[in-house]
A and B are shown apart, each in its own frame.
Chain A
Amino acid sequence: MSETKPKNKFKLPTAAELKEGQIWKSVFRHKLDETPRNRSLAVLSNVFLHLHPAKINRDAVRYNYTWGMGGITFYLFLVLTITGVLLMFYYHPSKGQAYRDIMYLMHDVPFGNFTRNMHRWAAHAMIITTWLHMFRVFLTGSYKPPREFNWNIGVLLLLFTMLLSFTGYLLPDDQLGFWAVTVGTNMARATPVMGSEGPFGPQLGFTAFNDVRFAILGGSIVDANALLRAYIWHCVAIPIIASVLMIVHFWRIRKDGAISGPAPVMIEQDLSGPVAKKA
């Protein structure tokens, strides 16, 4: 009579059972074997990793070839994205409030000063590593065909990195940033054709109230509109543009022969041009 009514039949699955289960299999499509094939599968079946080649030459990743600068730059971009989003939780992009929010972050918000400093130092570092990455690519001749397209994407990324830095400068709304942006946007007056004080600008009817500087600032002076525009460009528009370019950049690295080493062999018929058209 010891066996009475059965107890609850549910019991927690073991780890081994979990790995055999439907949920696990739906997430991980393959085993975790340390086989070459399985390692390739791990890259190919991951949306983030699949931009990279599944396999590369072991020599290609030597640091004295690449300095790791592109990867470090991307890592800093991730740091900046995360710390930047955190800072956005406390920051109001309006005159008067903006500077108070920075003070608030620095002196009261828990880890606020740490987050702000991370953002600031990572920003400085990203400018430096971007230049160093470009310098390395130049030294190793990696701008040459078939990588010339990716070099141009990289030049655009450099431009947007600088623009991120410039637009972020104004956001604390302190004397440093205000006058830096005053100076920087005054240079835009001298833009050829589109600037009110540049070559052909006045002849085409451009004034301080309709030229390219006006479009940047949203007015004729560095004021509330300029602060808001800098904020939107800095936090939304340029990061999106730069992210799209980064996706292309990383993809083309793989397609153009991976991070270092000789260029891939291309079949002439596959290339665009007269040969392709004839076929």
Chain B
Amino acid sequence: MADDKNPDPNRPAMPKPPMPAMPAPPAAGGMPKPPTPVAPGMPKPPTPAMPAPPAAGLPKPPAPAVPSAAVPVAPKPAAPAAAQKAPAAAAAIPANPVNPAALRPQPPKSGVSAEPAKADEKGLLLRRRDFVWHGVAGMLTLGAVAFGRFFFPRSLFEPRTSFTIGYASDYGFGVDTKFQSTQRIWVCRNSQGLFVILAVCTHLGCTPDWLATEGLFKCPCHGSVYDTEGKNFAGPAPMPMRRCDVRLDATGRIVVDTLTLYEVGRFNEGGPTGGAYIAV
């Protein structure tokens, strides 16, 4: 039973068909299309002068399931598998490959009977079984891919990543926390201008608390401490908190983009029109 299912006995025989004398042996259809070589009783074996026609009328297993089936069926001399296998196989069998006698020494393992008719039947059965199994494998693969894709929704119901926060004149010096709970940002202003800190601790992503009396941001999760401009100076945080891109729209309102972030070292990339800060 196990031998029946195992396509091995058939496979080594397959690459052999290419005619020895031909300069460009047709890659007679990788593994899954054994018809020409193995089936001695096939109605019309390809003549040596012609490139092997793609095994017509025979069940073709889906290509992706079989690695070596990826070799194109067209008679390409450059096809890697054909280039490797064919010459060796051709040298091994100088006789006419359609002759079953030539095949007899080849399959020493069980599975392919020596008698031509039976070998044909068995080969057909194997091909059919391969076809079914490849179909099952293909369906399972498709299902797994779909299962994975299922977990990535297209639409999200999350706060906008780009929004307006009013005019620069709405904000005085210091830290404004009015957008902390809805947008997870702090609007800050210093002598340089107005900037927006993304309220995400650079350690592991909690929201630090703004302690107005101490003039500090403190993270409740692991104790990172930041100064009024979001620069870390205590705790495990590795770097200052990031800042959001700020721009002025046509009406002079400030547009914040929480997906365009500036890390430390780029905090000066701003100016009158915006960037890491707006000079106001």
A interface, CB within 8 angstroms of B: 179, 182-183, 186-187, 209-210, 214-215, 218-221, 223-225
Write out the residue numbers on chain B whose beta carbons fall within 8 Å of the beta carbon of A183: 204-206, 221
Cβ contact within 8 Å between B151 and A215: yes
Residue in A186, A210, A219 whose beta carbon sits within 8 Å of that of B158 in the complex: A219
Chain A: CB-nearest residue to B153:
A218
Residue in B151, B158, B204, B206 whose beta carbon sits within 8 Å of that of A221 in the complex: B158
Q: Give 8 closest A-B pairs by Cβ, nearest first.
A: A186-B205, A183-B204, A215-B151, A186-B204, A219-B156, A179-B206, A182-B205, A179-B221
| Complex Cα gap A186–B203 (Å) | 9
Residue in B151, B157, B206, B220 whose beta carbon sits within 8 Å of that of A224 in the complex: B157
Instruction: Offer 9 A-B interface pairs, CB within 8 angstroms, sorted by A.
Output: A179-B206, A179-B220, A179-B221, A209-B156, A214-B152, A215-B151, A215-B152, A220-B156, A223-B157
B157: shortest Cβ distance to chain A, in Å? 7
Determine the interface band of chain B, counting residues with CB < 8 A from chain A. 10 to 19
Count chain A CB atoms within 10 A of each CB in B152, B205, B220 and give the residue with the most.
Answer: B205
Cβ contact within 8 Å between A187 and B152: no
Write out the residue numbers on chain B whose beta carbons fall within 8 Å of the beta carbon of A214: 152
Write out the residue numbers on chain A whose beta carbons fall within 8 Å of the beta carbon of B157: 219, 223-224
Residue in B151, B158, B204 whose beta carbon sits within 8 Å of that of A187 in the complex: B204
Write out the residue numbers on chain B whose beta carbons fall within 8 Å of the beta carbon of A225: 153
Residue in A182, A187, A209, A223 whose beta carbon sits within 8 Å of that of B206 in the complex: A182
| Complex Cα gap A182–B203 (Å) | 11
Write out the residue numbers on chain A whose beta carbons fall within 8 Å of the beta carbon of B158: 219-221, 223
| Complex Cα gap A260–B206 (Å) | 47
B259: shortest Cβ distance to chain A, in Å? 8
Write out the residue numbers on chain A whose beta carbons fall within 8 Å of the beta carbon of B153: 218-219, 225
| Complex Cα gap A16–B206 (Å) | 70
B interface, CB within 8 angstroms of A: 148, 151-153, 156-159, 204-206, 220-221
| Complex Cα gap A143–B186 (Å) | 54
Write out the residue numbers on chain B whose beta carbons fall within 8 Å of the beta carbon of A219: 153, 156-158
A8: shortest Cβ distance to chain B, in Å? 62
Write out the residue numbers on chain B whose beta carbons fall within 8 Å of the beta carbon of A179: 206, 220-221
A-B contact count (CB 8 A): 33
| Complex Cα gap A277–B266 (Å) | 66
| Complex Cα gap A110–B156 (Å) | 38
A271: shortest Cβ distance to chain B, in Å? 16
List 11 extra interface pairs beyond A182-B204, A220-B158, CB under 8 A: A179-B206, A179-B220, A182-B206, A183-B204, A183-B205, A186-B205, A215-B148, A218-B151, A219-B156, A221-B158, A225-B153
| Complex Cα gap A170–B221 (Å) | 16
Count chain A CB atoms within 10 A of each CB in B157, B158, B220 and give the residue with the most.
Answer: B158
A170: shortest Cβ distance to chain B, in Å? 15
B237: shortest Cβ distance to chain A, in Å? 13
Chain A: CB-nearest residue to B151:
A215
Chain B: CB-nearest residue to A209:
B156
Chain A: CB-nearest residue to B159:
A221
B221: shortest Cβ distance to chain A, in Å? 6
| Complex Cα gap A183–B205 (Å) | 6
A188: shortest Cβ distance to chain B, in Å? 11
| Complex Cα gap A225–B158 (Å) | 10
| Complex Cα gap A52–B152 (Å) | 42
| Complex Cα gap A187–B205 (Å) | 9
Given A182-B206, A183-B206, A186-B204; A210-B156 close (CB under 8 Å): no
| Complex Cα gap A56–B205 (Å) | 53
| Complex Cα gap A219–B161 (Å) | 13
Write out the residue numbers on chain A whose beta carbons fall within 8 Å of the beta carbon of B204: 182-183, 186-187
Write out the residue numbers on chain A whose beta carbons fall within 8 Å of the beta carbon of B152: 210, 214-215
| Complex Cα gap A183–B224 (Å) | 14
Chain A: CB-nearest residue to B204:
A183
| Complex Cα gap A176–B98 (Å) | 75
A270: shortest Cβ distance to chain B, in Å? 15
| Complex Cα gap A214–B154 (Å) | 11
Write out the residue numbers on chain A whose beta carbons fall within 8 Å of the beta carbon of B148: 215
B183: shortest Cβ distance to chain A, in Å? 11
Chain A: CB-nearest residue to B221:
A179
Write out the residue numbers on chain A whose beta carbons fall within 8 Å of the beta carbon of B220: 179
| Complex Cα gap A153–B52 (Å) | 50
Write out the residue numbers on chain A whose beta carbons fall within 8 Å of the beta carbon of B159: 221
Write out the residue numbers on chain A whose beta carbons fall within 8 Å of the beta carbon of B151: 215, 218
| Complex Cα gap A140–B186 (Å) | 57
